Structure 1
Amino acid sequence: MQILLIEAILSGLFRNVNSSILSEGLAMVSSLIRDLSKAGHNVYTVVCRDLLKLSGFLKASTIVRIDGASLPKLRKLAQSYDLTYIIAPESDGLLARLLEEFDGLHVCSNHETVKRLSDKAVTLSELFKVGLKTPRTLEYNPEVPIDLDFLKPPFIVKPRTGAGCEGLKLFKSFGELKRFLSKEKRELLIQEFIRGIPASVSLLTNGLKVIPISLNRQFISISRCMYLGGYTPVHHRLLKEALEVATNAVEAFKGLRGYIGVDVVLSKDGVYIIEINPRLTVSYVGLSRSLSVNLSNPIIETGLGKTCEFNPNFKAVCYFKKTLFEGPISRVLKISTLLDDIVSPPFPIEDQAKAYGFIAATSDSFKNARATYFKILEELRRETRCKILW
């Protein structure tokens, strides 16, 4: 099939770009291109003029250059291909708008369902109704007085809409929280902080049947409001419960199709659902390298609403990590196309002397995969003379 990939950042649709979020988008795109190409598809990727230097890194795909991306222009382009796959954050309703514009052309979730899931308050309310564990949550509106006695510190505060760790903050006392809220003019969610292990569950659904694939570890920096990567698969005493809970969460929202990610916390009280991501997530980078079968065709089949018999078996553990490079970054860019472990090269945007990239290391265990990651870092330090922070 002729498949068009539209990723919001590479195509120029997402404006507030930095190297951190670019590294996530590029890591997903490069992994999906690799898998779709191996499955025999012809892949075409939309890239805006400002990011054309990354074209060499996407060598398994034909690059479709676009100047001044707009939804009507991209829809007209998509009509020339068998199907379109869209990757975008939920921020400001972007993913829902894209799916609505490409309705009938894409193999992703229904735009109305995505619109509901983009509102985290609505998502949590629906999950609570079906009996799933979610953090205690208050909706903050600057125009309405709020009673914080319902919650106990520490508190997590996040935008009502958004993707990933965008705008995530932690407050340890009522005083800190009240001082912050006194300056805020937007709607927010205030939640109890659930102590435990941040994780996610990757799933497939054709709209009728849900297939859980894996439990994935997540590395998150609240102080930097940043997702840092993770590893997959995870073997944990709550594995079975996590897969069941995530399956129930996806089943609660009709209209989901293809690959779905569910963020959870593995706590001493069980599995708490944090949010549902109705799209490809960065955990796909790890699954692409750790599964014994190619996941791209099942994603397309379930996105089309077809029945898919998929039995996830793993051949390895993949440790994938966002990594900060400082110094002569051009040297890293030169060798990135030669190293399969660099799934997203560091591409400077806000600072020409530093940028984030993504590295994926595989081995037979978490311990060995992590050790391989650090060996890769050491080799890159020697070859590029960059300062590398992880």
Structure 2
Amino acid sequence: MLKSILSDLNDVENYSVDYIVSDNLSFDEFPNCNVIHVDDLFSWLDVNCKYYDCCLFIAPEDDLIQYKITLILEKHGIPIIGSNSSASYTCTSKSRTYDEIPDNILKVPSRIINITNIDYENINNILKKKKLIIKPDNRTSSDLIYKFNDIHQLRKIIKKYEKENVQKALIQEYIPGSSISVSTICNNDNIDILSINSQEIKESTTQIEYKGCKTPIQHPLKKEIIEQTKKILTIIPGLRGFVGVDYIIQDKNIYFIEINSRITTPYIVLHELTDENLTKTLIENLLNNENRKIKIKSTGYFYK
């Protein structure tokens, strides 16, 4: 995703762009973008962000990293090309997001658990009636999403979570269906639907993994998906910039999964398909409170 953004910004003549990464990362193919290597990102931002006109960042939900960066930028009054700290905090937790979404939106039946205090007997009773999956409550990666059929399998998963320092997890009913996402640009009350995207999912007997996307796709429930997405995004204040919403479609049922209050994988494809510079338009829309529409010219794919 960072390469996609830098590719766009490298072509903008009147921008002076610095990008901040860890010591082992840089990209030689973007000569108009200046790399800055830092060890302690939070400390560096707290001292130096005041020298910049705005900030667009890519960061995971893990350990509230995205939220903490947003707090620092807000503290110094730096315009953020993205969601504010309140929306970020809500969306970094799947359970907090679910709590905000009203019951008239179809959601996957879920329960939050603390890894150190699990009621295995209760979960076992649910397993007698339903298939279940488990996922970390506040992680970006899909590498830790599992299906389980019995308590023995669940205990093995919990041991993996303990090694990965996962503290809370969401147990959900397994809903068979097709996974999709919707990519949007939010700017105050305006929500521009960029695309509906397929989610290429690999399922084994025990694990569910995200492998890529096709974007945009035509969907028979397009109207309903767009209506529901706009409704959901108006519920949580402070969502701005590139925002994604994930669903599972089962027959004509549209199950809400989560909101990603950040740039997501389809951006890698979309920035190549738009009729103008996607990142430049995103920045200028938010800085100038404009609502320039972005048109998608064709279809593209991304696979891991």
Letter in 1 for 2:68: R
The question of 1:239 aligning with 2:222 is answered yes
The question of 1:313 aligning with 2:295 is answered yes
Distance, in Å, in 2 between the alignment partners of 1:316 and 1:70 is 37
The question of 1:204 aligning with 2:204 is answered no
| Aligned counterpart, 2:247 | 264
How far did residue 57 of structure 1 move?
A: 3.7
Seq. identity, % = 27
How far did residue 274 of structure 1 move?
A: 0.8
CA change 1:169–1:144 in 2 (3 A) is: closer
Distance, in Å, in 2 between the alignment partners of 1:305 and 1:139 is 40
Deviation track 1:8-46 (CA, whole Å, cap 9, x = no partner) reads: xxxxxxxxxxxxxxxxxxxx1111122233344332212
Distance, in Å, in 2 between the alignment partners of 1:102 and 1:238 is 39
Q: How does 1:275-286 map to 2 (within 5 A)?
A: 275-286=258-269
Distance, in Å, in 2 between the alignment partners of 1:36 and 1:248 is 32
Distance, in Å, in 2 between the alignment partners of 1:181 and 1:32 is 36
How far did residue 181 of structure 1 move?
A: 6.7
| Aligned counterpart, 2:50 | 79
Deviation track 1:116-173 (CA, whole Å, cap 9, x = no partner) reads: 111211111222x1521111112223435363345643211011211141421112x2
Q: What's the RMSD between the two structures over aligned residues?
A: 2.4
Unaligned runs of 5+ in 1: 1-27, 323-390
Distance, in Å, in 1 between the alignment partners of 2:300 and 2:189 is 30
**In the alignment, which of 110, 119, 130 is matched to residue 137 of structure 1?**
110
Higher relative contact order (CA 8 A, sep 6+): 2
> Which secondary structure state, in structure 2, belongs to the residue aligned with residue 249 of structure 1?
helix
Distance, in Å, in 1 between the alignment partners of 2:288 and 2:152 is 48
How far did residue 256 of structure 1 move?
A: 0.9
Letter in 2 for 1:31: S
| TM-score, scaled to structure 2 | 0.86
| Aligned counterpart, 1:255 | 238
| Aligned counterpart, 1:44 | 18
| TM-score, scaled to structure 1 | 0.68
CA change 1:95–1:67 in 2 (3 A) is: closer
Contact in 2 for aligned 1:231/1:318 (Cα 8 Å): yes
> Which secondary structure state, in structure 2, belongs to the residue aligned with residue 55 of structure 1?
coil
**In the alignment, which of 128, 132, 135 is matched to residue 158 of structure 1?**
135
Unaligned runs of 5+ in 2: none
How far did residue 92 of structure 1 move?
A: 1.1
Distance, in Å, in 2 between the alignment partners of 1:254 and 1:205 is 11
**Number of residue pairs aligned between Structure 1 and Structure 2:** 289
**In the alignment, which of 120, 124, 127 is matched to residue 98 of structure 2?**
124
Distance, in Å, in 2 between the alignment partners of 1:181 and 1:35 is 41
How far did residue 49 of structure 1 move?
A: 2.1
| Aligned counterpart, 1:55 | 27
Distance, in Å, in 2 between the alignment partners of 1:30 and 1:140 is 37
Distance, in Å, in 2 between the alignment partners of 1:162 and 1:291 is 30
Contact in 2 for aligned 1:83/1:107 (Cα 8 Å): yes
How far did residue 222 of structure 1 move?
A: 4.9
